[in-house]
Homo-oligomer: A and B are copies of this chain.
Amino acid sequence: MPSMKTIDMFKALSNETRLQILNWLKEPDKHFPAQGAHIPKGVNFAGGVCVGDIQEKAGVSQSTVSSYLNMMQKAGLLESFRYGQWTYYRRNEAAIRQLAEHIRTEL
C-alpha cells in the first residue's frame, strides 16, 4: 500500500510550473531578488523566498501560485515560514532525497 503522501508528491510534480518553482528554489540567489529584508535577526530560514517574488517569476496569478505552494508544502516538498505579512517557502531537501530513495528502492 503506497502511502498517500507519495502520491501527493507525484501529483505535485506533475505540472511544469511547479517543477520550475522547485528548480528555481535550488538556487534562490540566482533566480530571485535578495530575500529576508523583513525577517528579524535570530530567525534562521535561509533559502526561503516570498510568495510575491515566486509569483512574478512564474508568471501565473497570485492565487494560483499560492495554492501551488500550499500544495507542494502539504505534499512535503516545500517548507514554509511566515513572518508578518510575508510567507517564505524553501525546498525540503530531506523529503526530496527520501523520495528519490523511495523510488530507487521501493517503487
A residues with CB within 8 A of B:
2, 6-7, 10-11, 13-16, 19-20, 22-23, 96-97, 99-101, 103-104, 106-107
Flag if A20 contacts B2 (CB, 8 Å).
yes
A26: nearest chain-B partner, CB-CB: B107
Q: Main SS of the interface on chain A?
A: helix
Residues of B within 8 A of A14 (CB): 7, 10-11, 14
Residues of B within 8 A of A101 (CB): 100, 104
Flag if B100 contacts A19 (CB, 8 Å).
no
Residues of B within 8 A of A6 (CB): 19
Nearest CB of B to A77, in Å: 9
Flag if A96 contacts B100 (CB, 8 Å).
no
A20: nearest chain-B partner, CB-CB: B2
Flag if B99 contacts A19 (CB, 8 Å).
no
Flag if A103 contacts B96 (CB, 8 Å).
yes
